[in-house]
Amino acid sequence: MRQTLDTVWQRRGTSWIWDEEARNQVCAASEVWSLRQLLRAVGHWPEDLPSNDNNTLVVAGLEGCLDLLTPADAEAWLGDVIKDAILSFQSHYEGEVALIFWLPSGQGRIKVNPATEAVTWRCSAPHGQEALDFGRVLWGEALDYPQEVLLREGAKPAGLFHLRIT
């Protein structure tokens, strides 16, 4: 998977970030929206975003919602509700701002297959042996796969960044 040291993920596209240092680069904890706030805003997006000089919206709560659903229901909800919210956000702001999903346990839950670059989400108990086809559901395994976000050369990935989901 390609990697990026560029900070474009802080101003454009959609990211899934699990590194607290990375999150702190774009927002204060008090600026993070709940997933409920995001879903309520679909179709009624605010003129100003709360973070990073009006360039970023950081949202928490996705992983908790995924954990409450069965894997089949979680995958359907991810593809129907969350993808629609991402597409609405991208369309409204014309791809000129960033939507970041804050996933504190994402490093242990998002897995990238090195051979195929397929991205999966490891489910929680009692479905811990199952995984959601995260990449296929959200970006259709497009040829422009997401990039791993690096905060510095040689560091572990802080998250995944995708410039535009279609």
Domains of the chain, by residue range, sit at 3-162
Paired residues of 110 in beta bridges: 121
Whole-number Å distance between alpha carbons of 50 and 126: 36
Question: Tens digit of pLDDT for each residue in 68-95?
Answer: 999 999 999 999 999 999 999 999 999 9
Q: What percent of the chain has pLDDT over 90?
A: 90
Residue range 27-47: mean pLDDT, rounded: 97
Which strand ranges, in their side-by-side order, compose the sheet holding 159-162?
A: 3-4, 147-149, 159-162, 13-17, 98-102, 56-60, 33-34
Element (DSSP H or E) covering residue 161: strand 159-162
Question: Tens digit of pLDDT for each residue in 106-158?
Answer: 999 999 998 888 899 999 999 999 999 999 999 986 656 789 999 999 999 99
Q: Give the number of other Cβ atoms within 10 Å of residue 29's Cβ.
A: 11
Which tokens in the block code for residue 143? Answer: 């040829």
- In b/e form, how buried is each residue of 124-142, taking b as 16+ CB within 10 angstroms? beebeebbbbbbebbbeee
